[in-house]
């Protein structure tokens, strides 16, 4: 499956674009983030909190043009994402005025 990261996380992980991951079992937000952190340990604590495992406040998750940021972390992601046809997007939120 494919995961697209915001610039600062790509820079930290030293990758140039989307990353490709092997996810075993059901493809969920939790399993994707587990696989991502296993392959790129420097990302631990940057996408989700160490203690709680909750998504960090200024990051959003998208799959198939839908916001999955508030979805249950064990809910299966769309089949197109699991099959690698569409990427799972981790987006840095933009705030300002």
Mind listing the pLDDT tens digit of every residue in the chain (97 residues)? 999 999 999 999 999 989 999 999 999 999 999 999 999 999 999 999 989 999 998 999 999 999 999 999 999 999 999 999 999 999 997 766 5
Joined together, the tokens standing for residue 93 give 């939120």
Domain ranges of the chain: 2-92
Task: Report whether CATH 3.10.20.30 matches the domain 2-92.
Answer: yes
Residue 97 confidence (pLDDT) = 59
Q: Which pLDDT score, from 0 to 100, does residue 41 have?
A: 97
Q: How far apart are CA 92 and CA 74, in angstroms?
A: 22
Q: Which residues of 54-71 are buried (b: 16+ CB within 10 A; e: fewer)?
A: ebeeebbbbbeeeebeee
């Amino acid at each position: 499956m494919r995961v697209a990261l915001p610039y600062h996380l790509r820079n930290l992980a030293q990758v140039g674009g989307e990353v490709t991951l092997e996810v075993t079992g059901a493809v969920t937000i939790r399993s994707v983030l587990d696989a991502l952190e296993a392959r790129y340990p420097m990302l631990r604590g940057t996408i989700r909190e160490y203690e709680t495992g909750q998504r960090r406040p200024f990051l959003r998750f998208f799959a198939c043009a839908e916001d999955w940021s508030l979805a249950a972390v064990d809910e299966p992601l769309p089949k197109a994402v699991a099959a690698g046809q569409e990427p799972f997007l981790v987006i840095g939120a933009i705030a300002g005025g």
